[in-house]
């Protein structure tokens, strides 16, 4: 069943948990996400980051499959555009049937970010969809493992949410995308303060490499959506390498795809269990 980000995050809020948001880059990835969520009987967010992954598969193709399989799923699924950076891309995703979009204006000035996010909110409303936006920047990790982006300031976040009326706020509090060079140090007080002042669900980007304990602390502070992808792709790569080493003779691509799907599904099931925050089942 396809539902909006707002509705899926309401479920998260009522249960003090976070909904997993996994990035898909292939049919195998989409199936892994939906099968993991169905086997865990837990809602899930299936997202596509066109800016990062459009070079592997076009939004117009993968998006249609995401929406179709989400509609058929036995659990609530939100289909979301991750890091939308222009209005054409946002409109394309909504035309395909995405129930939610992210507008990422984090590289812009505050004024421009507000103006563009307001317009993205207006577009999303036309389609009855939800919107996530970003303030501060997850950026990249520097040589010493420090986060290079700007942490989100809670007082500014309050004004940003009031001005834009977004459904969820991607905030920077110590996470970065991709593989961490050193142990991440998260600013839990910042999450609490942002939640207290804005009263919108906080989104964590860069979930790969965060400890289970830190995930749970973040959820207790108000994180309701956790973006997670790199580790699933990396572990699937490890599984393919192992499978290939054990293969005598020919290595077939269909076996590679199945191995990747099974591996991603296991990684996603583990993450969903942690993000459910001690609830045995929903």
Tell me the catalytic residues.
82
Contact 164, 117 (CB under 8 A): yes
Applying the rule CB under 6 A, the residues between 29 and 88 that interact with ligand 13P are 49, 82-83
Identity of the residue, 42 or 208, whose beta carbon is nearer to ligand 13P in the bound complex: 208
Contacts of 209 (CB under 8 A, 6+ apart): 179, 180, 184, 230, 231
Q: Which of 69, 62, 65 is nearest to 2 (CA)?
A: 69
134 is in an annotated binding site: yes
Could you say whether residue 207 binds ligand 13P (CB under 6 A)? yes
Cα–Cα distance for residue pair 17/25, rounded to 1 Å: 26
**Nearest-approach distance from CB 223 to ligand 13P, in angstroms:** 12
Applying CB under 6 A, among 48, 103, 228, 268 the residue interacting with ligand 13P is 228
Identity of the residue, 146 or 247, whose beta carbon is nearer to ligand 13P in the bound complex: 146
80 is in an annotated binding site: no
Identity of the residue, 158 or 209, whose beta carbon is nearer to ligand 13P in the bound complex: 209
Q: How many CA atoms lie within 13 A of 83 on its CB side?
A: 18
Q: How many CA atoms lie within 13 A of 261 on its CB side?
A: 14
Go through the chain and tell me how many residues it has.
282
**Nearest-approach distance from CB 149 to ligand 13P, in angstroms:** 12
207 is in an annotated binding site: yes
Residues that bind ligand 13P (CB under 6 A): 23, 49, 82-83, 177-178, 205-208, 227-230
């Amino acid at each position: 069943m396809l539902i909006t980000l707002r509705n899926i995050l309401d479920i998260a809020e009522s249960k003090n948990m976070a909904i997993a948001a996994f990035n898909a880059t292939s049919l195998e990835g989409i199936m892994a996400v939906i099968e993991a969520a169905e086997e865990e009987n837990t809602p899930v967010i299936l997202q596509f980051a066109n800016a990062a992954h459009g070079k592997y598969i076009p939004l117009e193709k993968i998006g249609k499959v995401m929406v179709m399989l989400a509609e058929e799923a036995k659990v609530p699924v939100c289909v979301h555009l991750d890091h939308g950076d222009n209005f054409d891309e946002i409109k394309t995703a909504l035309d395909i049937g995405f129930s939610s979009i992210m507008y990422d204006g984090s590289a812009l000035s505050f004024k421009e970010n507000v103006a563009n996010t307001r317009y993205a909110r207006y577009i999303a409303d036309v389609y009855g969809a939800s919107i996530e936006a970003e303030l501060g920047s997850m950026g990249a990790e520097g040589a010493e493992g420090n986060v290079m982006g700007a942490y989100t300031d809670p007082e500014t976040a309050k004004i940003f949410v009031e001005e834009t009326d977004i459904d969820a706020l991607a905030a920077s509090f110590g996470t970065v995308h991709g593989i961490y060079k050193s142990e991440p140090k998260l600013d839990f007080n910042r999450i609490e303060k942002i939640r207290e002042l804005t009263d919108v669900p906080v989104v964590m980007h860069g979930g790969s490499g965060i400890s289970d304990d830190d995930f749970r602390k973040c959820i207790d502070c108000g994180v309701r959506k956790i973006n997670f992808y790199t580790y699933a792709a990396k572990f699937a790569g490890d599984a393919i390498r192992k499978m290939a080493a054990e293969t005598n003779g020919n290595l077939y691509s269909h076996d590679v795809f199945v191995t990747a799907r099974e591996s991603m599904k296991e990684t996603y099931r583990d993450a969903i269990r942690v993000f459910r925050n001690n609830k045995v089942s929903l």
